[in-house]
Amino acid sequence: MTIPWPGQVAYSPGVQYSVDVGYWTGSITYQAAWMTSPVIISVGSGPDANGIGWVWNSIDGWDSPDVAGQVVQRSADHGGWPSPQYYAPRILTLTITASAPSQAVRDLARLLFQQAIPVNDLATLIYNEPLPKQVNFRRSGRITEVCETLTDVTFTCNLVCPDPRKYSVVLKSGPVTVLAETVWMTVPAAIPFTLPAQPPPASVLATNAGTFETRPVVSVNGPLTGPQLVNQQTGQSVTFSTVSLGPGDVLSADFSNQSATLNGAYQAADVSSSWFVLQPGPAVINVTGSQGSGGATFAVTFRDAYM
């Protein structure tokens, strides 16, 4: 589906776009590792610092990605067997017009657009429909340029989004939760004695307000031995039974990549672990483990996801 932009002024060569009168604004942002500041193309919000007005013409593929999978024909029978089927990477086709005050600035717009669409890295596209969403993308194929006048240029390019989800632009962060401290008993102890109750697991309520499952990042700060990250709704857990976090150590589990780091270095989870997702609606994430003294904490970050 090609999305038109309500309220957009029809294009006329030589007319500089000062603002998109509809609410379909957005941006393209890219910052390579060597860049001191990002390249930002702000679309539909008036001339930028260089005097360039950027306007969406169309965006194709925003409605739905394709799927990958097939139905296998039954042997000696009618019909077929439905094999597993998943969403394929999202393919977008963008058409954007840049209108500049001079030919030199128009050529600057051409350079900026080429730089903002990376070949071997990911950039971020934000589309400010009434509920703003974003995707991460890179270039797919060539970028075509049509220079209608000496000061106007229209770009058409294909983008591929490895993750087909559309995410909320707001990064949600669950509250930093302090794990209950384990009570230790000195032995020998006078009899009779009462064993302390097992401290309750620390928990965070994470609500995915989107329409499709999303993947959180859970960060645990020591001291804590044998961290266990549990989805209370499904009973799935990711465990690190051999990990002992000291004060200041940080274990970060990225559920999208199904991997974890300990102080920035790769840390394997137990082979029995089950990496879970956050389905639409509320979910409670628990963290348990053993600690001697001090306050171990954990936090959950994620974005609402849509398809």
CATH number of the domain bearing residue 38: 2.40.30.200
Task: Examine residue 12 and state whether it is found in any structural domain, yes or no.
Answer: no
pLDDT at 180: 58
Q: Which domain holds residue 120?
A: 25-70+80-166
Specify whether the CB–CB gap between 250 and 220 falls below 8 A. yes
Cα–Cα distance, 34 to 118 (Å, whole number): 13
- Note whether 104 and 219 are same-domain residues: no
Tokens of 152: 């106007």
φ and ψ at 112, to 5 degrees?
Answer: -65, -40
- Note whether 89 and 109 are same-domain residues: yes
% residues pLDDT > 70 (the chain): 83
φ and ψ at 104, to 5 degrees?
Answer: -65, -40
- Note whether 63 and 104 are same-domain residues: yes
pLDDT at 107: 97
**Residue 46, pLDDT above cutoff 70:** yes
Instruction: Enumerate the β-bridge partners of residue 41.
Output: 28
- Note whether 191 and 159 are same-domain residues: no
- Note whether 220 and 87 are same-domain residues: no
Kindly give the residue spans of alpha helices, DSSP state H, lying in the chain.
Answer: 103-116
Give the contacts of 49 (CB within 8 A, at least 6 positions apart): none
- CA angle centred on 248, ends 242 and 250, rounded to 5°: 55
The overall pTM is greater than 0.85: no
Task: Examine residue 50 and state whether it is found in any structural domain, yes or no.
Answer: yes
- Note whether 176 and 193 are same-domain residues: yes
φ and ψ at 106, to 5 degrees?
Answer: -60, -40
Task: Examine residue 5 and state whether it is found in any structural domain, yes or no.
Answer: no
Task: Examine residue 135 and state whether it is found in any structural domain, yes or no.
Answer: yes
- Note whether 290 and 177 are same-domain residues: yes
Q: What is the pLDDT of residues 279-296, one digit of tens each?
A: 999 999 999 888 655 678
- Note whether 148 and 191 are same-domain residues: no
Total number of domains in the chain: 2
Domain end (from 115, 144, 166): 166
- Note whether 124 and 182 are same-domain residues: no
**Residue 16, pLDDT above cutoff 60:** no
- Note whether 253 and 141 are same-domain residues: no
Q: Are strands 297-302 and 152-161 parallel, antiparallel or unpaired?
A: unpaired
Task: Examine residue 215 and state whether it is found in any structural domain, yes or no.
Answer: yes
- Note whether 116 and 202 are same-domain residues: no
Cα–Cα distance, 133 to 139 (Å, whole number): 19
% residues pLDDT > 90 (the chain): 75
Task: Examine residue 113 and state whether it is found in any structural domain, yes or no.
Answer: yes
256: helix, coil or strand?
coil
Instruction: Enumerate the β-bridge partners of residue 145.
Output: 155
Give the contacts of 280 (CB within 8 A, at least 6 positions apart): 208, 209, 210, 211, 212, 213
Task: Examine residue 121 and state whether it is found in any structural domain, yes or no.
Answer: yes
Nearest to 56 by CA among 101, 93, 106: 93
Tokens of 100: 């500049």
- Note whether 149 and 202 are same-domain residues: no
Domain end (from 145, 166, 187): 166
Taken as a whole, the chain contains a residue count of: 307
Q: What is the pLDDT of residues 155-202, one digit of tens each?
A: 999 999 999 999 999 999 876 767 654 433 344 545 554 444 444 567
Task: Examine residue 6 and state whether it is found in any structural domain, yes or no.
Answer: no
Question: Domain with 278 in it: what CATH number?
Answer: 2.60.120.860
205: helix, coil or strand?
strand
- Written as one letter, the residue type at 216 is P
Give the contacts of 44 (CB within 8 A, at least 6 positions apart): 5, 19, 20, 22, 24, 25, 26, 54, 55, 56, 128
Cα–Cα distance, 221 to 141 (Å, whole number): 43
Mean model confidence pLDDT for the chain:
87
Domain end (from 151, 166, 181): 166
